[in-house]
Amino acid sequence: MSNAVAFSQSAESFVDLLARVRPEQWSEPGLDRWTVRDLAGHTSRAVLTVSTYLALDEPSDVTIPSAEAWYSAYASQFTDADGVHARGVEAGRWLGDSPATVVAAALTESREALRRAPGDRVVSIGGMGILLDEYLRTRVFELVVHTIDLSRATGLPHTLPTAAVADTAALAARSATLQGHGEEVLLALTGRGRLTDGFSVV
């Protein structure tokens, strides 16, 4: 499965879940400080930013070599918890009364932007350059992780593609390895140890 297809199918699964959230659930707890609506808003940015970033000027150089490098070495430098929280809340409000419809429209725009983009397109992220194909891997990661979060918060089953979940798990494991935790993750996955409370690669 190409990264563009994985992105498209994962986003479709996100939209499918949004369409099944009951009205009273939007204000219920989602993740940490976020409500379900806030979490949905944050997740919607994984769809929105594809078309938004492709509309920006193309960087001259690739300075982030891979999705793993972004999560391992750069993401923490360009994100802050309060800012991420606030953008999620703002995006949640933007979803309005029909979140699934709004995100479906954004997905159509992102698909069209991807159709027009050359295969070697470089995207600006955090003021640095990353190949579009690698950037899409980060979008799949966000969509998969947070669609699962939404599924857990609402009690509604998700329809994420198995291949996208597998790619996301592999990306998380490789990112952990680049952060110096590969052995810990391997031992945990093979029943030889446990990860510490709060362990995260993001």
Chain segment 132-160, per-residue pLDDT in tens? 999 999 999 999 999 999 999 999 999 99
Is the residue at 51 inside a domain? yes
Q: How many domains are contained in the chain? A: 1
* Residue 129: C-alpha distances to residues 56, 109, 174 (Å): 12, 22, 20
**CATH number, domain with residue 94:** 1.20.120.450
Give the H or E element holding residue 129: strand 128-131
Which tens digits make up the pLDDT trace of 185-194? 999 999 999 9
Is the residue at 52 inside a domain? yes
Task: Identify any residues that bridge with 29 across adjacent strands, giving them in sequence order.
Answer: 35
Higher pLDDT pick, 174 / 76: 174
Is the residue at 197 inside a domain? no
* Residue 139: C-alpha distances to residues 3, 21, 161 (Å): 9, 22, 14
CA distance 177 to 142: 19
Looking at residue 102, what is its pLDDT? 98
Looking at residue 79, what is its pLDDT? 67
Residue 131 has pLDDT above 70, yes or no: yes
Which tens digits make up the pLDDT trace of 16-72? 999 999 999 999 999 999 999 999 999 999 999 999 999 999 999 999 999 999 988
Q: Count Cα neighbours of 126 within 13 Å in the Cβ-side half-sphere.
A: 15
Looking at residue 126, what is its pLDDT? 79
CA distance 46 to 136: 9
Helix boundaries (H) for 55-181: 67-69, 75-78, 81-94, 99-116, 132-154, 162-178
Is the residue at 120 inside a domain? yes
Phi, psi of 125 (to 5 degrees): -140, 120
Higher pLDDT pick, 149 / 80: 149
Looking at residue 85, what is its pLDDT? 86
Is the residue at 86 inside a domain? yes
3-state secondary structure of 57: coil
Is the residue at 199 inside a domain? no
Is the residue at 202 inside a domain? no
Q: What is the DSSP letter of 52?
A: H
Is the residue at 200 inside a domain? no
Looking at residue 78, what is its pLDDT? 62
CA distance 112 to 92: 24
CB 107 within 8 A of CB 92: no
Domain limits for position 51: 3-189
